[in-house]
Amino acid sequence: MNGPVVSSSMSAAITDQEFALFQRLIYKIAGISLSDAKKVLLVGRLSRRLKHYNFATFSQYYRMLATGQHPEELQVMVDLLTTNETYFFREPRHFEFLRDEIIRPRRNSTPFRVWSAACSTGEEVYTLAMLLAECMPHAPWEVVGSDISTQVLAKAAAGHYPLERNEGIPPDYLTRYCFKGVRSHSGTFLITPDLKRRTSFYQINLTQPVDPEIGDFEVIFLRNVMIYFDMETKRKVVGNLLPRLKSGGHLIIGHSETLNGIQQGLESVRATIYRKP
């Protein structure tokens, strides 16, 4: 058996039994399968919360969370343990497919709605918004972003990024849809208000049934989140999303992911792209 993992500040250690408690807790809340390799990450991210409450052990912190008396702290834990790596125009072939195979042939005048179902800090949402603004300048459209983490959603809604994050944005898009920060915002850029007005953000746990009030979508992006789920959770997530996808709509997952065994009636269009009949 492995010994306890100690944080870099040497302020707290976690036993295998304690880590197993947090593995079960984050799985129950968010459906995330936290591998044993993530033990150091958990210690590094949660040690500050132990300090905040003057707890000497992870067991004390876990007991506080498990009572359900501090739901706000449960959200803090989820925010700290969910991985949020994203950038503008990530996996560009998906955006090319959206432009060339979905938007350009479209003859329908109804509002075109796209859902970024694990949007993290919003780069994917604004990438989609830039693309739709270019391809549908005179048509109604909307991009919805959602995530389980309130912390990253706040950043997404602000649309305010460090300047080095603009890598991947085409120069003409950067000129049209982003403002370079000045004075106190030097070294950053902001998404233009006109673009932000066509976006909205919601906290959604994809392992739970989705509120129908969010509406229906022509396209749902569910990229680079399924890798954290086991097969049962993947099946549940896809089942929760499909009622919100219109007939003829497309579900797009990450290039390192697959729906093999859990397509639930979806037709494979090409690798990582599926269509609802």
CATH of residue 109's domain is 3.40.50.150
Its pTM stands at: 0.86
273-275 and 245-253 strand pairing: antiparallel
Q: Identify whether residues 183 and 207 lie together within a single domain.
A: yes
CA-CA-CA-CA dihedral for 161, 162, 163, 165, to nearest 10: -70
Domain count, the chain: 2
> Looking at residue 47, what is its pLDDT?
92
Expressed as residue numbers, the domain containing 52 is 5-81
Distance between CA atoms of residues 81 and 65, nearest Å: 14
Q: Identify whether residues 52 and 189 lie together within a single domain.
A: no
Euclidean distance between the first and the last CA atom of the chain, given in angstroms as a whole number: 50
Segment 260-273 shows an average pLDDT of 89
Q: Identify whether residues 182 and 45 lie together within a single domain.
A: no
pLDDT confidence bin for 3, thresholds 50/70/90: very low
Q: Identify whether residues 75 and 97 lie together within a single domain.
A: no
Q: Identify whether residues 75 and 187 lie together within a single domain.
A: no
Q: Identify whether residues 154 and 67 lie together within a single domain.
A: no
Distance between CA atoms of residues 273 and 266, nearest Å: 10
Residue 265 within a domain? yes
> Looking at residue 227, what is its pLDDT?
85
Looking at 81, 111, 145, the residue that finishes a domain is 81
Q: Identify whether residues 58 and 171 lie together within a single domain.
A: no
Domain CATH code at residue 62: 1.10.155.10
pLDDT confidence bin for 155, thresholds 50/70/90: very high
Residue 87 within a domain? no
Residue 86 within a domain? no
pLDDT confidence bin for 9, thresholds 50/70/90: very low
Looking at 54, 81, 108, the residue that finishes a domain is 81
Instruction: Give Dmax (Cα) for the chain.
Output: 63
Residues 6 or more apart from 36 whose CB is under 8 A from it? 19
Which strand (E) or helix (H) includes residue 43? helix 39-53
What is the 3-state secondary structure of 81-149?
A: HCCCCCCCCCCHHHHHHHHHHHHCCCCCCCCEEEEECCCCCCHHHHHHHHHHHHHCCCCCEEEEEEECC
Q: What is the per-residue pLDDT across 210-266, written as a single tens digit (0 to 9) for each?
A: 999 999 999 999 998 888 898 999 999 999 999 999 999 999 999 989 898 887 789
Distance between CA atoms of residues 44 and 159, nearest Å: 28
Residue 151 within a domain? yes
> Looking at residue 8, what is its pLDDT?
40
Residue 232 within a domain? yes
Cβ 157 vs Cβ 201: under 8 Å: yes
Q: What is the per-residue pLDDT across 24-65, written as a single tens digit (0 to 9) for each?
A: 999 988 888 888 888 998 999 899 999 999 999 999 999 999
Q: What is the per-residue pLDDT across 119-134, written as a single tens digit (0 to 9) for each?
A: 999 999 999 999 999 9
**Strand, helix or coil at 210?**
coil
Q: What is the per-residue pLDDT across 81-110, written as a single tens digit (0 to 9) for each?
A: 886 778 999 999 999 999 999 999 998 889
Residue 241 within a domain? yes
Reply yes or no on whether the pLDDT at 191 is more than 90: yes
Q: Identify whether residues 97 and 77 lie together within a single domain.
A: no
Q: Identify whether residues 159 and 182 lie together within a single domain.
A: yes
Q: Identify whether residues 199 and 147 lie together within a single domain.
A: yes
Q: Identify whether residues 181 and 221 lie together within a single domain.
A: yes
267-270 and 273-275 strand pairing: antiparallel
Q: Identify whether residues 121 and 251 lie together within a single domain.
A: yes
* Catalytic site positions: 45, 147
Cα three-residue angle 21-23-27, rounded to 5 degrees:
120
Looking at 20, 49, 81, the residue that finishes a domain is 81
